[in-house]
Structure 1
């Protein structure tokens, strides 16, 4: 059975060995269904090689366990930290340890650059690269319960042992194609600390609204701020405090008294009395008293009346052709919304810079300016200078 580390000293000993290696593979198991912040339940680590004795499970719930040795390893820039689909793992480590692993390698991002498709799953890479299969029966088990079953331990360890072979294959492929810089460019977003900080003042931007009314948005901002702060303080999911449609209703009806709150169709009983009711009414009041110049503005959307549908279709053909030529997932280069923006007249975006600009953006702009045309020959699309 996999070795489980339950003391800080044991973790420190393993991390000291890892510090002498070129890389370490990392994964986590956590729960988040009942909390605002994820509860870290298990960390899996593996060193280079094929020996499973070089792979361990770390129990962060053990009484004599501090993850500081692991955080110190994450700060060691001589060791590459390898994850698959790292974003949620990184958020946990940022919240729990105020640390982001660097240097970082994400095999999902690398796989998209290497032509494995859109947001390819770990199981697919295990099958295609490691030529193995995974038993996923323990995937949705309760990782906070102790003791862990043998099946849970085996499942968890497989998430880092196969990752070694996947990493080495993808790293070699990136060197062969000269695209390592492409992946490093993508990983800058994952290692940006701002991506893992939720500011209550900005929480309203998560909500989809159908109005540009400054007063409505001002009230919505205050209500969303209250919900976010309360959810964080209680460590419960924000929808346990109030669902999105309740925020929308209250921003629309603008209640000014407990009696007004009682008329809400969606607000639950707990929100209609006591401290919760007072907090909601205070939030609405702050929104109503917001000065016009301080009212939030809805994100500017594209003016669809300016869209050239024919150009949008041509851009999709161009993107498909360029993605296939480069062997890169289309969505990693540009989204469908990006193409519509370009067809509406936008001439700048992520798609226009770095490796994306080289692969697609430059030709997209040339297509918009009428400097190139597209021609189909058999299954191929060719670019023709005009």
Structure 2
């Protein structure tokens, strides 16, 4: 009797174990049914493209896709695998170019490849251009990297969900339904807009309303006369109207604006990334190049000497400044006797000893006014940096940083 009971117990255990082995899949990810297979994605594309399909053939949709150049022989080994976001982008871009041609501007494509997709290096080189084009056209715009971040993560190795596949394939014909992208490849926001949205050419998804609603410099001034837009000041939407004396493109926008933005970004990169152990002549020269270069050696020497004086102070007081985020947003460029562009920065500072004067801890040619800044604590700021020239005959090529003030008095936060 005892032996019989024991055998029954062992049999029950075996049944339970076998049941558990059946219920729990070896790889839960692969067991998910929400992802779309490559063959099914190809069928969606071919159907949406309305290309001719001979349904009497085996693998009719695959053959139709190959005939149209949407799929190539070397693309896949197994069409029953799930579709990655990268492979979906490649196929989708070919389908879109089949229908509409290559519509992505070369400059925009380069900007997206260099600045807008943070994980582009994780995508195979031969597929990056297709991914960037799909991104630029508003098909697949990836995931946010956080507020004020001007790039997004594509996550190309993730599988594409079937529901998402149907949505993006529908955009082949429904071009108005695609995500709105800025001329430099950033996602545009169309809802919950700032109060003064009309002052800007567009509002970006990655920037909060407070970034836009901070007053322009000309709004802070007191005039003895009524200022005229286009002459005394200009909002970002009207700033091109002030550039007629500069070298401009067909839209009336100065062709050197990208260079201006680079100077502002570099200026902040060097001023807000300081290590007393490593700052040297290279750091000095790089920072100096962001400020205006005068024709007279005396004027140039003053700026250089000021930087050298700051370097000595930083070394003596063991100043370390770290700034992982610098976002210079060209769509905020406005005019107020000079040109100003709005920037966001996040930084923290450390130094030896007790609290010290801010205008000593930071290199600044104008002034610095930071509220509640604490040693070794992260600090966020939004500033309007001025670009100007001392050359009355400038075509815009020599514009550089003039007013480099770090003044957070006007920024109200998120």
For Structure 1 versus Structure 2, the TM-score category normalised by the shorter chain is under 0.3
With structure 1 as the length reference, what TM-score do the two structures score?
A: 0.25
Based on CA coordinates, which of the two structures has the bigger radius of gyration?
2
User: Counting helix residues as a fraction of each chain, which structure ranks higher?
Assistant: 1
- Relative contact order: is structure 1 or structure 2 higher (C-alpha 8 Å, sep ≥ 6)? 1
Q: What is the TM-score normalised by the length of structure 2?
A: 0.24
